[in-house]
Amino acid sequence: MECFAEFHGMPVMPNTHATKRIGIALFDRFALLGAATIAEVFHSANALAASAEQSGERYEVCLLSAAGGRIASSSSMFVWTDSVESQRNADNFHALFIVGGTGAADALRDGRLTIWLRRAYSRSELIFPIAEGRLLLEVVGSDQATDGRGYGGRLADSLRSSTGSAHVPEPAEALRLALSVVQADLGDETARQISNWIAPRAETPFNSIVRKNASVCVSEKIQESARWLEANGDQPVAIDSAAQIAAMSERNFLRRFKMEMGMTPSDYLLHVRLEMSCRLLAETDLPVDKIARRCGIGSGGRLP
């Protein structure tokens, strides 16, 4: 059974090299950021190996749900999954991640998923529950549901020495666990490179302003819209497009964004563009006008 995952247009495909299968178990209203982070780590590992023409490990990522087909994340974005029954004879994963999300409690009542988890638990080399995913793993009677199963000596030390994962945001925990698999398979340097590619950016004045103004708890939908604004800051941006990412009306989106982020979407976008401009001014020799255009500002005269 060939599987592939796709987030933001970036597929993780099977290949002809030695392949290790990675499963990501999902359910309705799963946490999109955690699942996307895991897929991105293994996609990056494949891309890095391909660019270096290495003949080592490759990863095949499968998104799985009880019934298969299209399921919605907690931010109302849809992904396509294989059914767990399609994996009846192919559920011996190198690593199986059970993501969290607001739908975990309902997923517990789905016998197809819990029965399959019991089978996959006994056959997979590594099991990593994340956030509410621990609730699902507990149904298999594991006494190791807090940090993973089957990782052996090569992963145990790093996992045991990590901080209490119950207090770590899901994307950060997903990144740590996925990188631990890559580190064990491909070495410290490869894991470091991948971490540098996709880990949260270092402290900047922009990050400081956002953290200072934002509320203690920012919802996943608003986080998704903020990330979309960051990714599209160099383009003309309509606020109603950001509202669609958050699956909200424009009026409700403007109210929620201001309440949770401490600034309007337009102000957030302006900060994104200014940060991009400062980085290009510091790191390149481009003229001010060209930097302004690249950052969606228009002209150099509009830069403060």
Domain at 205-302: CATH architecture? Orthogonal Bundle (1.10)
Bridge partners for 69 per DSSP: 81
Domain with CATH 1.10.10.60 in the chain: 205-302
Please report, rounded to a whole number, the percentage of residues in the chain having pLDDT higher than 70: 72
Going from the C-alpha of 281 to that of each of 105, 135, 268, 293, the distances in angstroms are: 49, 48, 20, 13
pLDDT digit string, tens, across residues 236-252:
888 888 898 888 999 99
Beta strands in the chain (DSSP E): 5-7, 10-12, 19-25, 58-65, 69-72, 78-83, 95-98, 127-129
Which tens digits make up the pLDDT trace of 91-133?
678 999 999 888 888 888 888 888 888 888 878 888 888 888 8
Encoded tokens for 29:
């209203």
Band of pLDDT at residue 159, cut at 50, 70 and 90: very low
Intervals of CATH 3.40.50.880 along the chain: 5-198
pLDDT bucket at 15, cuts 50 / 70 / 90? very low
CB–CB of 142/130 below 8 Å? no
Lowest mean pLDDT among 2-6, 107-111, 228-232: 2-6
Report residue 278: phi and psi, to 5°. Answer: -60, -40
DSSP secondary-structure letter at 10?
A: E
pTM above 0.75, yes or no: no
Closest CA to 19 of 48, 63, 59: 59
CATH class of segment(s) 5-198: alpha beta
